[in-house]
Homo-oligomer: A and B are copies of this chain.
Amino acid sequence: MPYDPSAFPPFAVTVDLVVLTVRRHSLCALAVRRGEPPFQGRWALPGGFVRADEDLAQAAARELAEETGLCVHDPAAPTQDNGAHLEQLATYGDHERDPRMRVVSVAHLALAPDLPAPRAGGDASNARWAPVEELLEQAGYGRDGEGPAPLAFDHTHILADGVERARSKIEYSSLATAFCPPEFTVGELRRVYEAVWGVALDPRNFHRKVTGTPGFLVPTGGTTTRQGGRPAQLFRAGGATLLNPPMLRPEV
Residues in A lying within 8 Å of B, measured CB to CB: 2-3, 5, 7-14, 36-37, 49-56, 88, 90-95, 100-102, 104, 106, 244, 251
Interface of A is mostly: loop
Contact A56 B7 (CB under 8 A): no
Contact of A49 among B2, B7, B13, B104 (CB under 8 A): B7
Compute how far the CA of A37 lies from the CA of B5 in the bound complex, rounded to whole angstroms: 12
Q: Could you say how many copies of this chain the assembly holds?
A: 2
Top 10 closest A-B pairs, CB basis?
Answer: A10-B10, A9-B52, A8-B49, A56-B93, A91-B91, A11-B13, A8-B12, A3-B36, A55-B94, A11-B11
Contact B94 A91 (CB under 8 A): no
Contact of A91 among B5, B8, B95, B106 (CB under 8 A): B106
Contact A51 B13 (CB under 8 A): no
Contact A11-B12, Cβ < 8 Å, known A93-B56, A106-B104: yes
**Residues of the B chain whose Cβ atoms lie less than 8 Å from the Cβ of A14:** 8
Contact of A104 among B53, B56, B94, B100 (CB under 8 A): B56
Contact B52 A95 (CB under 8 A): yes
Compute how far the CA of A101 lies from the CA of B91 in the bound complex, rounded to whole angstroms: 20
Compute how far the CA of A54 lies from the CA of B8 in the bound complex, rounded to whole angstroms: 12
**Residues of the B chain whose Cβ atoms lie less than 8 Å from the Cβ of A52:** 9, 95, 102
Compute how far the CA of A93 lies from the CA of B13 in the bound complex, rounded to whole angstroms: 10
CB distance from A72 to the nearest CB of B (A): 17
**Residues of the B chain whose Cβ atoms lie less than 8 Å from the Cβ of A50:** 8-9, 11, 93
- Interface centre among A5, A9, A88, by most chain B C-beta atoms within 10 angstroms, is A9
Contact A56-B9, Cβ < 8 Å, known A244-B251, A251-B244: no
CB distance from A93 to the nearest CB of B (A): 4
Compute how far the CA of A7 lies from the CA of B100 in the bound complex, rounded to whole angstroms: 13
Compute how far the CA of A188 lies from the CA of B216 in the bound complex, rounded to whole angstroms: 37
